């Protein structure tokens, strides 16, 4: 299938470079009759928007989305929805050094090796800017989910920045929107501010872990064995720039558990079976259980830093490179709305797939 498309029935194809005239995506397969306007998508883009505080790139982009097709009289028509976001702040600068040298830890060198040519302006296609298109597509997916599965709720937040982890005993969902890190822990928020500030002033950057939880996901989404809900979540999250790992439920920690510990026991409740725990993260055998779907992913530290690193030039010379410009000290911060968007797209896609094969009918228990 296409290499810049994801999804089976609800498909998103993104395009565009950091410093081209615009970026965007085509959303295909959206159910018809879903209420949709720019106003439904813009708020999600605003959350990801750069330049909102000193912890994100100072590039100033309004990230205003335009719907160019697929919507008529305020509703989706079932035909492709083209979402376009103009690049307004491509600061005119000399790219000389970046053009010739490869940033260590960056895609510069692999693009050069694979394609023999790369748009080095602001990282071109490999810029985190591409994630704006994902967030826009996620906005469409959220509208469709709201129409099809009232009550489904997707929440993303940071649980780790560098060596700092949240204290889950202090978990406070209210707090997420109140700090620049989307961290659900007021104490951590304060500590992280100092921590990241110090790293930033030291011309350094740091990684992060984001957790995305979807509540109200119906049982039965996903399928064995290669169209599993968790396989598609893993692929979707890993496709986000700088992500190096994806976990479902217990994730890596599942390795240290015994079968007795890991078994999510079940008891009948007033409305059917109830799980007494959720080590599985809401997915068994690639299919949703009806419990919250819990996904985490790790974002590596920004590779563009002001500290000189050893590298080589395209002409094969050794050199030391300092990456000037406007870069996030922790790109993981802005990955929170991106992870939420990918979750929304994957869930809608599997909702449509399930409806296609099974008609959405569920096997009875009790």
Min dist. Cβ of residue 189 to a second copy (A)? 17
Min dist. Cβ of residue 45 to a second copy (A)? 18
- Within 8 A by CB and 6+ apart from 338, the residues are 48, 131, 134, 135, 240
According to CB under 8 A, which residues from 154 to 193 bind a second copy?
160-163
According to CB under 8 A, which residues from 49 to 88 bind a second copy?
66, 68-70, 72-73, 75, 77-82
Min dist. Cβ of residue 6 to a second copy (A)? 4
DSSP tag of 22: E
Single residue of 141, 336, 347, 353 touching a second copy by CB under 8 A: 353
According to CB under 8 A, which residues from 311 to 350 bind a second copy?
311-312, 314-318, 332
The partner residues of 12 in beta bridges, in order of sequence, read: 6, 27
Single residue of 143, 247, 293, 334 touching a second copy by CB under 8 A: 247
**Burial of 78 (C-beta count, 10 Å sphere; 0-12/13-18/19+):** middle
Does position 205 bind a second copy by CB under 8 A? yes
Does position 102 bind a second copy by CB under 8 A? yes
Q: How far is residue 104's CA from residue 145's CA, in Å, rounded to a whole number?
A: 40
Buried b (16+ CB within 10 A) or exposed e, 258-269: eeeeeebeeeee
Single residue of 237, 293, 333, 336 touching a second copy by CB under 8 A: 237
Q: Of 200, 132, 206, whose CA–CA distance to 162 is shortest? A: 206
Min dist. Cβ of residue 349 to a second copy (A)? 10
According to CB under 8 A, which residues from 24 to 43 bind a second copy?
24, 26, 28-33
Q: How far is residue 12's CA from residue 99's CA, in Å, rounded to a whole number?
A: 30
According to CB under 8 A, which residues from 4 to 23 bind a second copy?
4-9, 11, 13-17, 20-23
Does position 358 bind a second copy by CB under 8 A? yes
Min dist. Cβ of residue 174 to a second copy (A)? 24
Tokens of 345: 């797209």
Piece in contact with a second copy (CB under 8 A), picked from 41-49, 57-65, 185-193, 240-248: 240-248
Sign of the CA dihedral 176, 178, 182, 184?
Answer: negative
> Mask of contacts with a second copy, 113-152, x by CB under 8 A?
xxxxxxx----xxx---x----------------------
Q: How far is residue 334's CA from residue 330's CA, in Å, rounded to a whole number?
A: 8
307: number of Cβ within 10 Å: 12
Single residue of 39, 150, 256, 271 touching a second copy by CB under 8 A: 256
Give the nearer residue to a second copy in terms of CB position, either 146 or 266: 266
Q: Of 234, 263, 258, whose CA–CA distance to 247 is shortest? A: 234
């Amino acid at each position: 299938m296409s290499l810049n498309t994801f999804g089976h029935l609800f498909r998103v194809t993104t395009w565009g470079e950091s410093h081209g005239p615009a970026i965007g995506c085509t959303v295909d397969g959206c159910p018809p009759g879903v209420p949709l306007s720019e106003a439904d998508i813009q708020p999600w883009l605003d959350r990801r928007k750069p330049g909102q505080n000193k912890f994100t790139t100072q590039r100033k982009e309004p990230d205003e989305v335009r719907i160019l097709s697929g919507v008529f009289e305020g509703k989706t028509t079932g035909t492709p929805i083209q979402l376009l976001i103009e690049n307004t702040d491509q600061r005119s600068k000399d790219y000389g050094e970046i053009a010739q040298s490869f940033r260590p830890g960056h895609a510069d060198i692999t693009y050069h090796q694979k394609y023999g040519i790369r748009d080095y302006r602001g990282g071109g296609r490999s810029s985190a800017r591409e994630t704006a298109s994902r967030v826009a597509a996620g906005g469409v997916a959220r509208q469709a989910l709201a129409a099809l599965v009232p009550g489904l709720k997707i929440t993303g937040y940071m649980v780790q920045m560098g060596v700092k982890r949240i204290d889950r005993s202090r978990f406070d969902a209210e707090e997420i929107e109140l700090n620049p890190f989307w961290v659900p822990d007021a104490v951590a928020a304060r500590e992280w501010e100092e921590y990241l500030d110090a790293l930033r002033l030291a011309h350094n950057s740091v990684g992060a872990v984001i957790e995305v939880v979807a509540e109200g996901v119906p049982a039965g989404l996903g399928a064995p064995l290669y169209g599993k809900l968790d396989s598609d979540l893993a692929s979707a999250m890993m496709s986000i720039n700088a992500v190096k790992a994806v976990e479902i439920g217990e994730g890596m920690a599942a390795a240290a558990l015994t079968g007795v510990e890991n078994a999510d026991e079940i008891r009948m409740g007033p409305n059917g079976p109830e799980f007494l725990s959720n080590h599985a993260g809401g997915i068994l055998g690639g299919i949703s259980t009806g419990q919250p779907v819990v996904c985490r992913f790790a974002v590596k530290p920004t590779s563009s830093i002001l500290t000189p690193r050893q590298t080589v030039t395209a002409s094969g010379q050794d050199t030391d490179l300092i990456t000037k410009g406007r870069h996030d000290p922790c790109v993981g911060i802005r990955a929170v709305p991106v992870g939420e968007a990918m979750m929304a797209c994957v869930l809608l896609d599997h909702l449509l797939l399930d409806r296609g094969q099974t008609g959405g009918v569920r096997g009875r228990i009790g």
